[in-house]
Amino acid sequence: MEKKDVPQDHGIFGQWHAICYVTDENGEYVRTTSSGWEPTNIANGIAWEFINEELAEVAEKVKKAELSPLAYYMKKHLMDVKMLSRYSGFASWRVKRHLKHRVFTGLSDATLQRYAAVFNITPEQMKDIP
Protein backbone atom coordinates (compact mmCIF):
# COMPACT_ATOMS: atom_id res chain seq x y z
CA MET A 1 0.00 0.00 0.00
CA GLU A 2 1.21 3.49 -0.80
CA LYS A 3 0.88 6.44 1.52
CA LYS A 4 -1.52 8.28 -0.78
CA ASP A 5 -3.87 5.24 -0.78
CA VAL A 6 -4.23 4.95 3.00
CA PRO A 7 -7.96 4.76 3.70
CA GLN A 8 -9.56 7.28 6.05
CA ASP A 9 -13.00 5.73 6.48
CA HIS A 10 -14.16 6.93 9.87
CA GLY A 11 -15.97 4.19 11.79
CA ILE A 12 -15.26 1.72 14.56
CA PHE A 13 -12.20 3.46 16.01
CA GLY A 14 -14.23 6.50 17.10
CA GLN A 15 -11.83 9.30 18.02
CA TRP A 16 -8.77 7.03 17.74
CA HIS A 17 -6.56 6.03 14.80
CA ALA A 18 -4.74 2.95 13.63
CA ILE A 19 -1.11 2.80 12.53
CA CYS A 20 -0.31 1.54 9.04
CA TYR A 21 3.04 0.73 7.48
CA VAL A 22 3.10 2.00 3.91
CA THR A 23 5.55 3.04 1.22
CA ASP A 24 6.09 6.67 0.29
CA GLU A 25 6.81 8.07 -3.17
CA ASN A 26 10.49 6.99 -2.94
CA GLY A 27 9.61 3.41 -2.04
CA GLU A 28 10.73 3.92 1.58
CA TYR A 29 8.62 2.45 4.38
CA VAL A 30 6.93 4.98 6.65
CA ARG A 31 4.48 4.91 9.55
CA THR A 32 1.21 6.67 9.02
CA THR A 33 -2.21 6.86 10.64
CA SER A 34 -5.59 5.81 9.32
CA SER A 35 -8.96 6.61 10.84
CA GLY A 36 -10.37 3.32 9.58
CA TRP A 37 -11.12 1.21 6.52
CA GLU A 38 -14.57 0.45 5.17
CA PRO A 39 -14.16 -3.37 4.87
CA THR A 40 -13.15 -3.52 8.54
CA ASN A 41 -16.10 -1.33 9.49
CA ILE A 42 -18.41 -3.66 7.57
CA ALA A 43 -16.93 -6.80 9.15
CA ASN A 44 -17.24 -5.30 12.61
CA GLY A 45 -20.83 -4.25 11.87
CA ILE A 46 -21.67 -7.82 10.79
CA ALA A 47 -20.38 -9.20 14.09
CA TRP A 48 -22.53 -6.81 16.13
CA GLU A 49 -25.55 -7.36 13.90
CA PHE A 50 -25.48 -11.09 14.62
CA ILE A 51 -24.95 -10.49 18.34
CA ASN A 52 -27.85 -8.05 18.50
CA GLU A 53 -30.14 -10.43 16.62
CA GLU A 54 -29.39 -13.19 19.09
CA LEU A 55 -29.82 -10.79 22.00
CA ALA A 56 -33.24 -9.76 20.72
CA GLU A 57 -34.26 -13.43 20.53
CA VAL A 58 -33.16 -13.99 24.12
CA ALA A 59 -34.98 -10.84 25.27
CA GLU A 60 -38.13 -12.17 23.63
CA LYS A 61 -37.80 -15.45 25.49
CA VAL A 62 -37.20 -13.65 28.79
CA LYS A 63 -40.41 -11.70 28.28
CA LYS A 64 -42.28 -14.96 27.73
CA ALA A 65 -40.68 -16.30 30.93
CA GLU A 66 -38.92 -19.07 28.98
CA LEU A 67 -35.51 -17.84 30.10
CA SER A 68 -34.35 -15.82 33.11
CA PRO A 69 -32.95 -12.26 32.96
CA LEU A 70 -29.58 -13.87 33.66
CA ALA A 71 -29.66 -15.34 30.14
CA TYR A 72 -30.14 -11.83 28.78
CA TYR A 73 -27.23 -10.32 30.69
CA MET A 74 -25.03 -13.27 29.82
CA LYS A 75 -25.73 -12.75 26.11
CA LYS A 76 -25.41 -8.98 26.40
CA HIS A 77 -21.91 -9.40 27.76
CA LEU A 78 -21.04 -11.89 24.99
CA MET A 79 -20.54 -14.75 27.45
CA ASP A 80 -21.46 -18.41 27.39
CA VAL A 81 -22.24 -20.66 30.35
CA LYS A 82 -18.62 -21.75 30.73
CA MET A 83 -17.30 -18.21 30.81
CA LEU A 84 -19.99 -16.97 33.19
CA SER A 85 -19.23 -19.92 35.42
CA ARG A 86 -15.56 -18.85 35.56
CA TYR A 87 -16.45 -15.23 36.30
CA SER A 88 -19.16 -15.88 38.90
CA GLY A 89 -17.54 -18.86 40.59
CA PHE A 90 -20.72 -20.94 40.25
CA ALA A 91 -20.40 -24.38 38.69
CA SER A 92 -21.62 -24.64 35.09
CA TRP A 93 -24.59 -26.80 36.01
CA ARG A 94 -25.72 -24.19 38.53
CA VAL A 95 -25.38 -21.37 36.00
CA LYS A 96 -27.43 -23.46 33.57
CA ARG A 97 -30.15 -23.94 36.21
CA HIS A 98 -30.17 -20.21 36.95
CA LEU A 99 -31.01 -19.55 33.30
CA LYS A 100 -34.43 -21.08 33.94
CA HIS A 101 -37.02 -18.50 34.86
CA ARG A 102 -38.59 -20.60 37.60
CA VAL A 103 -35.27 -21.24 39.35
CA PHE A 104 -34.10 -17.66 38.93
CA THR A 105 -37.10 -16.14 40.73
CA GLY A 106 -36.18 -18.08 43.86
CA LEU A 107 -32.52 -17.00 43.95
CA SER A 108 -31.18 -15.32 47.09
CA ASP A 109 -29.91 -11.74 47.08
CA ALA A 110 -26.39 -13.00 47.74
CA THR A 111 -26.47 -15.09 44.57
CA LEU A 112 -27.87 -12.21 42.55
CA GLN A 113 -25.16 -9.98 43.99
CA ARG A 114 -22.47 -12.30 42.68
CA TYR A 115 -23.86 -12.20 39.16
CA ALA A 116 -24.49 -8.45 39.36
CA ALA A 117 -20.85 -7.89 40.30
CA VAL A 118 -19.73 -9.68 37.13
CA PHE A 119 -21.89 -7.42 34.95
CA ASN A 120 -21.14 -4.20 36.89
CA ILE A 121 -24.84 -3.63 37.71
CA THR A 122 -26.94 -3.70 40.91
CA PRO A 123 -28.78 -6.84 42.13
CA GLU A 124 -32.00 -4.87 41.67
CA GLN A 125 -31.25 -4.39 37.95
CA MET A 126 -30.53 -8.11 37.65
CA LYS A 127 -34.15 -8.95 38.35
CA ASP A 128 -35.42 -7.50 35.11
CA ILE A 129 -34.22 -6.59 31.63
CA PRO A 130 -34.17 -3.07 30.23
The binder of another protein chosen from 3, 55, 61, 83 (CB under 8 A)? 83
Q: What's the min distance (Å) between Cβ of 123 and another protein?
A: 18
Using the rule CB under 8 A, is 55 a contact of another protein? no
Q: Containing H/E element for 107? A: none
Rg (CA), the chain: 22
- DSSP states of 17-64 as a string? -EEEEEE-TTS-EEEEEESB-HHHHHHHHHHHHHHHHHHHHHHHHHHT
Identity of the residue, 10 or 63, whose beta carbon is nearer to another protein in the bound complex: 10
17 sits near another protein (criterion: CB under 8 A):
yes
Residues that bind another protein (CB under 8 A): 1, 11-14, 16-23, 27-29, 31, 33, 37-40, 42-44, 46-48, 50, 77-79, 83, 86-87
